[in-house]
């Protein structure tokens, strides 16, 4: 197997964007190519992640991207695993480079949905649940994560104010991220007084609907060295699955796919959770981040919430969780999110994260899942 490296990264701002889906995909991809110091012709294929191309009337995005980049003869494909699409696409690209099929690829995640409005977006997203048991019964994602939050409150020593603190922390980080969607300082009181979406989750416990595109250049170590410039190495990659419907799981305060994916990634990287300096985790709702940090084994089950209370996951504390602002503040363009996490890791490990830099960071982790964690991928990166 070849060593696989990230050689460049680019991203649009996350938020309500006016440009179309093909344009923002091209903008992010071109930015990553430029950042890597390579030419489009060096890119041998494109791995795109996108869920609702239908919403902007363009599926089969790959050939449009390749044509826009001036390399229409190169193969491309789109990968979908709901909100985990980005990390799953990254995983497939990783596998292809590791196996020697390509020496240099672009991985581009994108979503463009906000123009369809909240009702349509919520409806589309519900198609990512186990629709027979969940979506068609009227349960959309806020309701599903609210069930998890309610179970967590019942099972462990936690309060709604503790969940709110996750949002406060991630907004504190997002303020420092020029590309974040919600760059606004909030307090626990703000969260507690925001509209109840699905009790116990309030509006400010939920990530926003965002548009956006993020891209990274993935290549062999030899290619990275030959083309100069900063790069980081992918040292761990793991995937996992969980029962599609929440009702099919024995416990709903843990996500089995995170554990499977993380354990595989740690094993491959030859590290333990303690070695991780910072992590971009899937905080679609505040409860999700708490569960994630436990399933990633940063904390024991039930103790993730204490870590939040004791401020051990904020920037440059014990472990910096979501230095980018996470899905909560940076935003959640669902097809882009997993790739955007890698952009953050690349920026952090190559000294481009500005005010939100995690000091002396050597190892970063990305964790991104689809739906309520029915699918998941975890990747671990190391500076060189």
Residues that bind a second copy (CB under 8 A): 1, 20, 22, 45, 51-54, 57-60, 62-64, 66-67, 71-82, 88, 92, 95-96, 98-101, 124, 126-132, 135-136, 239-245, 248, 256-257, 260-261, 370-371, 374-375, 377
Compute the least distance from the CB of residue 229 to a second copy, in Å: 26
Catalytic residue among 227, 282, 332, 379: 332
Compute the least distance from the CB of residue 22 to a second copy, in Å: 7
When the beta carbons of 28 and 51 are compared against a second copy, the nearer one is: 51
When the beta carbons of 91 and 171 are compared against a second copy, the nearer one is: 91
Q: How far apart, in whole angstroms, are the C-alpha atoms of residue 182 and residue 180? A: 6
Q: Name every residue whose Cβ is closer than 8 Å to that of residue 18 and which is 6 or more positions away in sequence.
A: none
Nearest to 301 by CA among 311, 309, 310, 293: 293
Q: How far apart, in whole angstroms, are the C-alpha atoms of residue 258 and residue 374? A: 9
Q: Give the Å distances, CA to CA, from 213 to 86, 118, 182, 252.
A: 10, 20, 16, 31
Q: How many CB atoms lie within 10 A of CB 117?
A: 11
Compute the least distance from the CB of residue 285 to a second copy, in Å: 17
Compute the least distance from the CB of residue 337 to a second copy, in Å: 14
The answer to whether the beta carbons of residues 326 and 283 sit under 8 Å apart is yes
Compute the least distance from the CB of residue 7 to a second copy, in Å: 21
Q: Name every residue whose Cβ is closer than 8 Å to that of residue 7 and which is 6 or more positions away in sequence.
A: 36, 37, 38, 104, 217, 218, 219, 223, 224, 227, 229, 231
Compute the least distance from the CB of residue 273 to a second copy, in Å: 20
192 burial (CB, 10 Å; 0-12 / 13-18 / 19+) is middle
When the beta carbons of 73 and 119 are compared against a second copy, the nearer one is: 73
Q: For residue 332, indicate whether it is catalytic.
A: yes
Compute the least distance from the CB of residue 370 to a second copy, in Å: 6
For tokens 């084994």, what's the residue?
297
Q: Which letter does DSSP use for residue 83 in this model? A: B
Q: How far apart, in whole angstroms, are the C-alpha atoms of residue 191 and residue 17? A: 26
What backbone torsions phi and psi does residue 212 show, to the nearest 5 degrees? 160, 165
When the beta carbons of 185 and 251 are compared against a second copy, the nearer one is: 251
When the beta carbons of 130 and 280 are compared against a second copy, the nearer one is: 130
Q: Which residues of 61-71 are buried (b: 16+ CB within 10 A; e: fewer)?
A: bbebbbebbeb
Q: Give the Å distances, CA to CA, from 203 to 142, 171, 209, 283.
A: 10, 14, 12, 14
Q: For residue 128, indicate whether it is catalytic.
A: no
Catalytic residue among 5, 83, 207, 219: 83
> What CA dihedral angle connects 246, 306, 376 and 167, to 10 degrees?
90
When the beta carbons of 146 and 261 are compared against a second copy, the nearer one is: 261
Q: Which residues are catalytic?
A: 83, 332
């Amino acid at each position: 197997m070849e060593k696989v490296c990230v050689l460049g990264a680019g991203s649009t701002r996350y938020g309500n964007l006016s440009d179309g889906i093909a344009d923002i995909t091209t903008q992010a991809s071109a930015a990553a190519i430029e950042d890597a110091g390579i030419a489009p012709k060096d890119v041998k294929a494109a791995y795109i992640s996108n869920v609702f191309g239908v919403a902007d009337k363009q599926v089969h995005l790959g050939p449009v991207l390749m044509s826009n980049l001036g390399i229409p003869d190169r193969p491309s494909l789109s990968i979908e695993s709901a909100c985990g699409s980005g990390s799953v696409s990254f995983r497939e690209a990783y596998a292809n480079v590791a196996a020697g099929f390509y020496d240099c690829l672009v991985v581009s995640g994108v979503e463009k949905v906000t123009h369809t409005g909240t009702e349509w977006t919520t409806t589309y997203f519900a198609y990512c649940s186990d629709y027979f048991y969940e979506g068609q019964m009227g349960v959309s994602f806020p309701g599903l994560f609210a069930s998890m939050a309610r179970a967590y409150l019942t099972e462990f020593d936690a309060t709604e104010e503790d969940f709110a603190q996750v949002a406060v922390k991630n907004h504190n980080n997002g303020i420092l991220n020029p590309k974040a969607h919600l760059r606004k300082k909030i307090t626990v009181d703000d969260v507690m007084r925001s509209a109840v979406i699905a009790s116990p989750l309030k509006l400010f416990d939920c990530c926003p609907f965002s548009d956006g595109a993020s891209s990274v250049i993935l290549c062999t170590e030899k290619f990275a060295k030959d083309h100069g410039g900063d790069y980081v190495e992918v040292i761990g990659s793991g995937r996992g699955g969980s029962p599609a419907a929440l009702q099919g799981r024995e416990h709903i305060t843990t996500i089995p796919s995170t554990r499977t994916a993380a354990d595989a990634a740690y094993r491959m990287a030859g590290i333990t959770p303690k070695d991780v300096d910072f992590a971009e985790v899937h905080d679609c709702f505040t409860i999700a981040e708490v569960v994630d940090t436990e399933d990633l084994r940063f904390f024991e089950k039930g103790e993730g919430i204490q870590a939040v209370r004791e401020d051990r996951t904020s920037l440059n504390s014990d472990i910096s969780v979501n230095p980018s602002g996470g899905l909560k503040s940076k935003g959640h363009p669902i097809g882009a999110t997993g790739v955007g996490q890698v952009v953050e890791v690349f920026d952090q490990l190559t000294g481009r994260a500005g005010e939100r830099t995690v000091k002396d960071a050597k190892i970063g982790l990305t964790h991104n899942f689809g739906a309520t964690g029915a699918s998941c991928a975890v990747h671990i990166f190391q500076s060189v």
